[in-house]
């Protein structure tokens, strides 16, 4: 699991510190939304430390109240949060649903329902801020969801492969945001890091997909179905992954992440397999003397016979010539 130390989050950025509950409440309300902040266990003060950095549609915060507190937000509405405890324990209630949070499990508060949280003393958080419309835009590319009402679960497992990938993307974005505070990077690099993080956020949720009305979470996403259909229709043509992504209206990185998450393969691997399956069908259907291995390989998009034969043998356990003689 990716390890993030509290001292490393937004290191070098100004730290807002206060022990006054009303002052802490005001500063967090200005950053996020209105809420009630109530110290627990008879505490009358906090020892809040806050660091924050936003860029465009995303932001990263470090927040430690330094005391056990109860937080009752009025509603997020226009943004999503992923709250990652760097130590300690936190608890979130959404209706009858309770989420226990730790460095192994992040909370993802709802944007359209009331909720409440309790953070234990010694529970500093790294918080990822995402504008609602930005996440909806990436969800549309991945799943065909054209509504701004992207429904997420309330917890994210940070120990699995998808959760670890999300954490790595957060660290990459964090480091870039820190470095760009003093110098500007190309816009396309910044956009790529943001899109990667948002894609991995969607993929890392508890059901690994976006829940929307009419979409079966266990079925393939619309993007993957369109990708498979495109391969079936054009596999024998000169296709390159950037061309496929452009045809589907997504970035190469978005396509790669979706395929890796849902299918466990790269675009190139799936394209190659479709071409091999088609070549096998043609070899088995060919009559004696009607076809040659070279002609079938070329018609299926393979220009190098030696490479084709090696891939064919590795995939089907026999040489193309053996299939042709059947």
Tens-binned pLDDT, residue by residue, of the chain (326 aa): 678 999 999 999 999 999 999 999 999 999 999 999 999 977 789 999 999 999 999 999 999 999 999 999 987 889 999 999 999 999 999 988 889 999 999 999 999 888 999 999 999 999 999 999 999 988 888 777 555 567 788 999 998 888 999 999 999 999 999 887 555 566 777 888 999 999 999 988 844 333 333 334 444 567 787 888 788 777 777 778 888 888 877 778 778 877 877 778 888 888 888 889 888 888 888 866 778 899 888 888 888 888 899 998 998 898 988 888 76
Provide the strand spans (E) within the chain: 16-18, 35-39, 48-55, 58-64, 69-73, 79-85, 90-94, 97-101, 105-107, 116-119, 125-131, 155-157
Q: Which CATH class is domain 222-326?
A: mainly alpha
Q: 0.75 cut: is pTM over it?
A: no
Every domain range in the chain assigned CATH 2.60.120.10: 6-204
Positive or negative: CA dihedral 255, 261, 262, 265 = positive
All CATH 1.10.10.60 domain ranges of the chain, comma separated, are 222-326
The CATH fold of domain 6-204: Jelly Rolls (2.60.120)
């Amino acid at each position: 699991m990716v390890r993030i130390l509290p001292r490393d989050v937004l290191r070098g950025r100004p730290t807002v510190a206060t022990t006054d509950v009303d002052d802490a409440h005001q500063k967090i309300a200005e950053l996020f939304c209105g809420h009630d902040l109530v110290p627990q266990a008879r505490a009358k003060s906090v020892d809040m430390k806050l660091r924050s950095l936003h860029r465009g549609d995303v932001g990263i915060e470090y927040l430690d109240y330094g005391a056990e507190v109860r937080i009752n937000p009025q509603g997020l509405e226009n943004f999503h949060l992923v709250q990652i405890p760097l130590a300690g324990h936190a608890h979130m209630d959404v209706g009858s649903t309770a989420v226990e949070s730790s460095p192994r499990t992040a909370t993802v508060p709802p944007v359209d329902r009331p909720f409440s949280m309790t953070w234990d003393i010694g529970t500093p958080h790294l918080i990822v801020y995402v504008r609602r419309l930005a996440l909806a835009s990436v969800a549309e590319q991945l799943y065909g969801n054209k509504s701004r009402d992207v429904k997420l679960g309330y917890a994210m497992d940070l120990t699995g492969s998808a959760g670890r990938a999300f954490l790595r993307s957060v660290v990459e974005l964090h480091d870039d945001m820190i470095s760009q505070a003093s110098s500007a990077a190309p816009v396309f690099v910044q956009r790529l890091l943001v899109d990667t993080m948002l894609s991995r956020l969607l993929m890392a949720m508890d059901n690994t997909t976006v829940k929307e009305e009419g979409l079966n979470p266990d079925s393939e996403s619309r993007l993957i179905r369109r990708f498979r259909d495109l391969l079936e229709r054009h596999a024998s043509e000169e296709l390159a992954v950037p061309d496929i992504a452009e045809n589907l209206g997504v970035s190469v990185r978005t396509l790669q992440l979706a395929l890796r998450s849902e299918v466990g393969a790269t675009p190139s691997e799936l394209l190659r397999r479709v071409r091999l399956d088609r070549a096998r069908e043609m070899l088995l259907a060919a009559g004696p003397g009607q076809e040659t291995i070279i002609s079938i390989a070329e018609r299926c998009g393979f220009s190098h016979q030696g490479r084709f034969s090696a891939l064919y043998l590795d995939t089907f356990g026999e040489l193309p010539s053996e299939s042709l003689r059947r």
